Amino acid sequence: MLFATLASCLSFIACAPTQVLAGPALARPSSSTLKPLAKHTSSSIASTSSPIALETPVVAIQATSETSDDVSYWLADITHQGIAAFNSNPSTYKVFRNVKDYGAKGDGVTDDTAAINLAISDGGRYGPASRETSTTTPAIVYFPEGTYLISTSIIDYYFTQLIGNPNSIPVIKATAGFTGLGLIDGDQYQSDGGQGWGSTNVFFRQIRNLKLDLTNIPATSGATGIHWPTGQASSIQNVEIELSSASGTQHQGIFIENGSGGFLTDVTITGGLYGANIGNQQFTMRNLVISDAVTCISQIWDWGWTYQGLKLSNCTTALAVNNGGAGDQLVGSVTVLDSTIQDCSTFVATAWASSTFSNGSLILENIVLEDVTVAVKGTSGTILAGGSTTISAWGQGHKYTPDGPTNFQGTFTAPTRPSALLASGSSNYYTKSKPQYETSPIASFVSIRTAGATGDGSTDDTSAIQSALTSAASSGHIVYFDAGTYKVTDTLYFPPGSRIVGEAYPVIMASGSVFSTISKPIPVVQVGKSGESGSIEWSDMIISTEGSTPGAVLIEWNLAADAGSGMWDVHTRIGGFTGSEQQVAQCPTSAAVSTACEVAYMSMHITSTASDVYLENVWLWTADHDLDSAENTQISVYSGRGLLVEGKNIWLYGTAVEHHQLYQYQFSGANNVVAGFIQTETPYYQPSPNAANGPYPTNSTLNDPDYSTCLSGNCDALGLRVLDSEDIVVYGAGLYSFFNDYSTTCSTFPTPENCQSEIFSVEGTTSNLVVYTLSTVGVTNMIVKDGTSLAVVSDNLATYAATIAYFTL
Ligand SMILES: *[C@@H]1O[C@H](CO)[C@@H](O)[C@H](O)[C@H]1NC(C)=O
Ligand SMILES: *[C@@H]1O[C@H](CO)[C@@H](O)[C@H](O)[C@H]1NC(C)=O
Ligand SMILES: *[C@@H]1O[C@H](CO)[C@@H](O)[C@H](O)[C@H]1NC(C)=O
Ligand SMILES: *[C@@H]1O[C@H](CO)[C@@H](O)[C@H](O)[C@H]1NC(C)=O
């Protein structure tokens, strides 16, 4: 994420009075209103509609006997005994809320808006503008099957999961007179004209298994399905949006004006002017299906974006990346792979031209066209002809192969994909969405609280959890972690065969002397032991630490896994939350480094015995600020290493690693890795101390970088280091360094860009490495190989970030 208290008045746009965004902002933003202002102020979108009511009408909670589904789903039927351990009222605070318990009827006739909004807000939760972030009021808001009529927006709150019954998808249907920015408004604009939350800080939220129906709303009124400016650890999964496809339609399915996201998968949108009208620093979108829209995807702006498995059909333009026009392109880069475009006049509309700037960088790999007139259309006509054909690999922008920059536009040879990474019988990469166990009966689940763990944040739950995990794996049960904070004082071992799913991101919090030695790494969660094989599915959870824990390796994955094993929406959150004792009080930025604020040896280690590891939407985050401070106050907590990959056959879809001392991602002796989008941030305290001088000494067994060959300038933590590894393809990377000792003067575009000298290092015997659409911020040398710079920032200026479209050794 990017901490956003920095000057928001870097240009006249942010300082000008902003109108409240009440109605949909549908007019294609002009370049003058959408210029990126800074890394976190990207767009200014004005609308002339009148403000919508900010108050949620209150309805009395009505008892109802209609809360259950006809088609059952275990998540609704299981006993709800999750708690918010650090809430001020843990005994009364409700994590799980069924909208029908709050009076929603779901009968397609009653206006359910107020009831749904009450289900979200109930219990003293923080709404938009009431607080920047918070961890003490998690909630699942559950929709049984039914049709829920709404007349104004469902106002989404922070740390909320809106979940429908996947076995009978509930429909949220707008009335004809609907008003509001989005049937679901993920970041409601306030009367002061600003978003409720800084969009780069909206974490820990999901929308799943819903259908949004906008067809009652007249086609010519602007209308939006989901307004979703959001940050990391957010996801939309299994959602259908139906828009008007009548001629002249002004509807849009998903509207994202900015943020630092994010992940989306399995979304189907029909109709509209724009299926998706979206801008953000970076995002990963998978299996996005859009048909019958004028423009399927309108890319407002970005630094980088990875689309995998797009299916765009029956449109005028499938993907418009030309916003701003030739001289002022607002789209930094886009990578599209494994996609199908059908019956569209144009696949990609671009404004790229060969220049010293690299805005508009584009990579297309393995794209099937069926009846597409023009594949790539530039400002003066066809660049790549369409037809019914397959684009094996095509790109434009700056390339380094390995030297550069060379402006290129055209086909090139795609890297050979390791067969171990492919879906069976296909040339596409393997993918798998988060399991929701929708066909499993309730008898398949064992609740961790029923099994004796408390989740109260203070009791030592280690042995209760371990015995539940061991017996569930042998009996084939799925372990349900009720919401809560589970304190553990020793390693939890996930045996092969484990299936583990959390309720509203329960927290496993490591604490105590076992984890207290900086020279003795101990796993908190150990996924299989070295030499073991089998399958694991793990989703919706957070791993954290409490107090001084410099020996904690939050996740250690040793398992040689069966196909389909992985982690979905599992995050590390190290420091910066109530209960961690690693907050403003203990670890203010003004304090000298102390053991009290040394909080993790490593976020995640995929060891050399591990194979077939699938990570999707995983954010490994050392806190840069205190999520429970009223003003998002920055803190200095110190963790050693981010994600170390030593294994083989690894999928990293939509992952991010932030603020670790020695590196964020390190691939060392790794084999067969597909990754995209990957995103990193350097610790804000660096270079005082810098990567080599921080509290965590290097460990040669782990091949830590020692920074002895660092180029001149600040030797801050590497974002990505690839050492002695083979067959690595990165489909989109954003490696950012915004700060030097909490000051951003080193990252003010276009110059200076010198928060650190280098951030991406390729070393040793590494071979078959390809990195597409690499963006950096605040970095002087964008690519360094064995101590020699291959690419400097001044040759690759783009948007706020500098971008290289294509790098290979
Ligand atoms: C996001 O866009 C809104 C609307 O223009 C603006 O008020 C806000 O400052 C932007 N936030 C960031 C983090 O760029
Ligand atoms: C194509 O989309 C238009 C709306 O843009 C719709 O009216 C038409 O029915 C669609 N055609 C097909 C074959 O789906
Ligand atoms: C690239 O983006 C920068 C920053 O917005 C802008 O100043 C520049 O004109 C753009 N260049 C091109 C070629 O679009
Ligand atoms: C170095 O890493 C190895 C492998 O994880 C570990 O066994 C050893 O304890 C570590 N040593 C130190 C001093 O951190």
Q: In the CATH scheme, what is the code of domain 437-598+622-641? A: 2.160.20.10
Given this model, what pLDDT does residue 40 score?
32
Can you give 697-753 as a three-state secondary structure string? CCCHHHCCCCCCCCCCCCCCCEEEEEECCEEEEEEEEEEECCCECCECCCECCCCCE
Task: Indicate which residue's Cα is closest to atom 3 of ligand 3.
Answer: 799
Write phi, then psi, for 385 (nearest 5 degrees): -70, 155
* Ligand that comes closest to the CA of residue 342: 2
Positions of E strands within 421-517: 445-447, 456-460, 478-481, 485-488, 492-494, 499-502, 507-510
Distance 37 CA to ligand 1 centre (A): 9
pLDDT for res 130: 81
The pLDDT, as a whole number, for residue 477 is 98
- Identify the pLDDT of residue 712: 82
Q: Nearest C-alpha to atom 10 of ligand 3 is from which residue?
A: 328
Query: Which pLDDT score, from 0 to 100, does residue 274 have?
Result: 98
Spatial separation of the C-alpha atoms in residues 450 and 10, rounded to whole Å: 53
The full DSSP string for 402-424 is SS--EEEEEE-PPPPPPGGGBPT
Task: Give the per-residue pLDDT at 426.
Answer: 97
Where do you find CATH 2.160.20.10 in the chain? 42-260, 437-598+622-641
Ligand nearest to the CA of 231: 1
Residues 6 or more apart whose Cβ sits within 8 Å of residue 797: 356, 357, 358, 749, 750
Tell me if 699 CB under 6 Å of ligand 4: yes
Total length of the chain: 809
Mean pLDDT of residues grouped by 10 in the chain (809 residues)? 32 26 31 31 32 33 53 96 97 98 98 98 91 93 98 97 98 98 97 95 97 98 97 98 97 98 98 98 98 98 98 98 96 98 98 96 98 98 98 98 97 97 97 98 98 98 98 98 98 98 98 98 98 98 98 98 97 98 98 97 98 98 96 96 98 98 98 98 97 97 95 93 98 98 94 96 98 98 97 97 97
Q: Largest Cα–Cα distance of the chain, in whole Å?
A: 70
Token readout for 351 is 């404004």
DSSP symbol at 588: B
CA angle (288 as vertex; 140, 183 as ends), nearest 5: 45
CA of 216 to the centre of ligand 1 (A): 30
The pair of structure tokens assigned to 745 is 């003067």
CA-CA distance, 172 to 113, in Å (whole number)? Answer: 10
- What's the DSSP call for residue 454? -
The ligand whose atoms approach the alpha carbon of 646 most closely is 4
Is the Cβ atom of 296 under 6 angstroms away from ligand 2?
Answer: no
Ligand 4 centroid to residue 604 C-alpha, Å? 14
Give kind and range of the element (H or E) at residue 240.
strand 234-242
Atom of ligand 3 nearest to the CA of 353: 13
Smallest CA separation from ligand 1 atom 5, residue: 44
Q: How far apart are CA 50 and CA 397, in angstroms?
A: 42
Terminal CA-CA length for the chain? 30
What are the structure tokens assigned to 295, written together? 């423009």
Atom 1 of ligand 2 has which residue's CA nearest to it?
292
With vertex at residue 68, the alpha carbon angle to CA 65 and CA 71, rounded to the nearest 5 degrees, is: 145
**Residue 198 in contact with ligand 1 by CB distance below 6 A:** yes
Q: How far is CA 73 from CA 78, 94, 107, 704, in A?
A: 9, 20, 19, 46
- CA dist 754 → 481, 626, 775, 786 (Å): 44, 27, 15, 20
329, 330, 748: which to mutate for ligand 3, most atoms within 8 A of CB?
329
Residues sharing a CB contact under 8 Å with residue 646, sequence separation 6 or more, in sequence order: 605, 606, 607, 608, 610, 668, 669, 670
Quickly tell me which residue has 């060379």 as its tokens.
406
Compute the distance from residue 322 Cα to the ligand 2 centre, in Å.
Answer: 24
Burial 374-395 (b: 16+ CB within 10 A, else e): bbbbbeeeebbebeeeebebbb
CA of 256 to the centre of ligand 4 (A): 44
Among protein residues, the one whose CA lies closest to atom 13 of ligand 3 = 327
Residues 6+ apart with CB under 8 A from 342: 311, 312, 313, 314, 369, 370, 371, 372
Give the number of the ligand closest to the Cα of residue 38. Answer: 1
* CA of residue 360 to ligand 3 center, whole Å: 9
Q: Which ligand is closest to the CA of 696, given by its number?
A: 4
Residue nearest to ligand 1 atom 10, measured at CA: 41
Return d(Cα 805, Cα 263) in angstroms, integer.
Answer: 22
Q: Residue 245 C-alpha to ligand 2 middle, in angstroms?
A: 7
Helix (H) or strand (E) holding 120: helix 113-121
Q: Could you tell me the distance, in angstroms and rounded to a whole number, from the CA of residue 40 to the centre of ligand 1?
A: 7
Cβ(700) to ligand 4 under 6 A? no
Rounded Cα distance between 581 and 732, Å, is 36
CATH tag, 42-260: 2.160.20.10
For ligand 1, atom 9, the nearest C-alpha belongs to 41
Task: Report the distance separating Cα 141 and Cα 93, nearest Å.
Answer: 13
| Burial group, residue 474, by CB count within 10 angstroms (0-12, 13-18, 19+) | exposed
Q: Quote the pLDDT of residue 67.
A: 62
Nearest-CA residue for atom 6 of ligand 2: 292
| Ligand closest to CA 352 | 3
Residue 530 CB–ligand 4 contact under 6 Å: no
Cα–Cα distance for residue pair 502/391, rounded to 1 Å: 41
Question: Could you tell me the two tokens for 700?
Answer: 């040669």
In angstroms, the CA 221 to CA 326 distance is: 30
